Chains A and B, each alone.
Chain A
């Protein structure tokens, strides 16, 4: 089928059945009896927990909310709504003390202060990448922004500060993983990961953090396909309409601002075109872009995939 605007439309009913069959098969393969899912009130975790409940029965699914002091307050109420709708048990584990104990906030703030000495708890912070990837062939470099009241300041991050901010922030995803495995192992259940294809293949996850799971039911689905499954499953509209965020930094930052540099529809369509080796002229015509814009997007996506290959690799043995 030639590349067109509907190239990523899926038969949501058929795909849902296929994913449910896979969840059952894989749960049996691992000789586990149920699934634990970290739920954030976001679209991906909502779809995964709903699929698990449908596949295994809601009595064999546990959705765990894991907020910390900087989490969005909206996440918990949306996650509970999901539990009410699909009948699975929900539980909340507040991770603030664990993260404080590990030095997550202190280590991150120390790095931020090296860039903005005035930074303290009265400021919020976020990291973003350039958002004009269609307009300019640019490197993906990171800008730190702090904000307080109506004031905000931004600066490109020196490498040491960037690495320390990310390493410290990654405690959040890794302690969440640890928490999920506690509850899974206590029940002899498995952990179902919630990453989609965009996250998995472009490396928007933390190794052994949110990347740590036993099964990954939607890691092959483009984000816009996850939405199709969500509609089919009847995920609450407040969750479907919510803008995907990182929910990692104290200032709200969308996934587009933090990592992708492009809205999901164009990202997914351009990436799919790249996978199909669609010539830039043809992709441009279908998507209403210029060939130069398509070329820049192709280049940006390829670079991200190549640079993050190590995240998807298993630990290497001596002979590898």
Chain B
């Protein structure tokens, strides 16, 4: 990832997910490859919040046909997607 450090992106995404979708989650772990859908962390409203966050933070538009689990449904997937969009 040329312009953005991958570790920083992971931390920013993790912080956002935990702060916004995992209330009172001090004793929970979130692995980078955990599916948000399978863990019940993000619902249809949450997806809109997540995409808004990513679009604003990384200054690109997520098209409707990119609203896919392979792009958005885990920290790992998000990092890969952000890297692809920025490169």
Contacts and interface: CB of A to CB of B under 8 A. Distances in A.
Given A140-B44, A303-B37, A159 B52 contact: yes
Contacts of A137: 68-70
Nearest 5 A/B pairs, CB to CB: A159-B48, A307-B43, A140-B44, A159-B49, A139-B47
Interface in B62-79: 64, 67-70, 72-73
Interface of A: 129-130, 136-143, 156-159, 162-163, 303, 306-307
B24 interface: no
B67 A139 contact: yes
B40 A138 contact: no
A182 B22 CA distance: 40
B45 interface: yes
Contacts of B37: 139, 303
A156 B44 contact: no
Contact of A156 (B40, B48, B73): B48
17 contacts: A130-B64, A137-B69, A138-B69, A139-B37, A139-B72, A140-B44, A140-B47, A141-B44, A141-B48, A143-B64, A156-B64, A157-B48, A159-B49, A162-B45, A162-B48, A303-B43, A307-B40
B49 A141 contact: no
B48 A136 contact: no
A23 B45 CA distance: 37
A159 B53 CA distance: 10
Nearest to B61: A156
Interface string B32-46: 000001001001110
A305 to B, nearest CB: 11
A56 B52 CA distance: 52
Interface in B10-65: 37, 40, 43-45, 47-49, 51-52, 64
B64 A159 contact: no
A307 B36 CA distance: 12
Given A136-B68, A159-B52, A141 B40 contact: no
A141 B47 CA distance: 7
A141 B45 CA distance: 7
Contact of A158 (B44, B48, B64): B48
Q: Which of A129, A130, A159 has the most CB of B within 10 A?
A: A159
Contacts of B73: 139
A201 B45 CA distance: 18
Contacts of B49: 159
Given A130-B64, A136-B68, A156-B51, 12 more contacts: A130-B67, A137-B69, A138-B68, A139-B47, A139-B67, A139-B69, A141-B51, A141-B67, A142-B44, A156-B67, A162-B45, A303-B43
A137 B45 CA distance: 17
A218 to B, nearest CB: 26
Nearest to A299: B37
B6 to A, nearest CB: 24
A138 B67 contact: yes
A29 B74 CA distance: 49
A130 B44 CA distance: 12
A159 B72 CA distance: 16
Contacts of A141: 44, 47-48, 51, 64, 67
